[in-house]
Chain A
Amino acid sequence: MAYAYFCLSGYGTLLTILTVIAAALALICIFVITMNERKSEFGILISIGAKPRQLSAIVYFEALIIGVVGAIAGVLASLGLIAAFSDILSVYNCWYDEADLGNCGD
């Protein structure tokens, strides 16, 4: 059976950071669009007595719930995927093995 070794080198770290930034931007965009769609709902709430800080609290609380639930679901899904592909995907960290530096993927 063929084994693929992925080296978590400088490029891997850069890729991870870019993925996190892309995911964060996508989340912010979706959240802003959702909030814009709910403008009329916020208008109704203000007109029946909601104070600006109450609206902020609603928005932040929703963001918190989405963030926490999304993070837990994301970690669980990634653990499941890693387990499912563990026989063909082996994560090999070169940083801890000086002897193998530069020999990744061989």
Chain B
Amino acid sequence: MMKQTLGTVEIEGDGSIGYVLQGDSLLGNFTVYENVCMPAYLENRNDDFDSRAEELIERMGLSGMADDYPKNLSGGEKRRVAIARAMINNPSIILADEPTSNLDQENSERVMEILKSISESGTTVLMTTHELEYVRYADRVLDINKGKLMSEAFTE
């Protein structure tokens, strides 16, 4: 992890962020269910996050895979587990770093549909991508080149 060299970030509300890392980011020694619950374990949450985890696994279309290990999942399934993991602590913002990288068209569309539905249910989704075909899912598009803001557009 790198520390920022410049600037500050201000977040409204409780400021909790869920992070969908780029690429394969699941912990191989843990099941799908345990991976999804990991941020809750790390927060030492004592409330009933089990039902939230089950709900998220179902919402991601991974029913019946809760006890599977990451090595038995496809790339698209792994990415959806990572999104569920980012959602477990009910963050106000989801930060997704290239969530469609290394995925085929079908899986990419599915991931984008999920991120769109998360956004519509009231959680801000901030994602980076260089695949311009998925820009159509966004409400606001910022074009950044070599650290400089080139243009800004609202698609709706």
**Which A residues lie at the B interface, using CB under 8 A?**
41, 43-51, 54
B4 to chain A, nearest CB (A): 14
Size band of the interface chain B makes with A: 10 to 19
Contact count A vs B, C-beta below 8 Å: 27
Contact residues in B for A43 (Cβ distance below 8 Å): 1
B27 touches A44 (CB 8 A): yes
B25 touches A49 (CB 8 A): no
- The segment from B38-46, B106-114, B138-146 that touches chain A is B38-46
User: Is chain A's interface secondary structure helix, strand, loop, or mixed overall?
Assistant: helix
**Which B residues lie at the A interface, using CB under 8 A?**
1, 19, 21, 25-27, 38-39, 42-43, 85-86, 89
A48 touches B39 (CB 8 A): yes
A49 touches B42 (CB 8 A): yes
Contact A49:B1 (CB < 8 A) given known A44-B21, A44-B27: no
B27 touches A49 (CB 8 A): no
B42 touches A54 (CB 8 A): yes
Contact residues in B for A48 (Cβ distance below 8 Å): 19, 38-39, 42, 85-86
A46 touches B1 (CB 8 A): yes
Contact residues in B for A45 (Cβ distance below 8 Å): 27, 38, 42
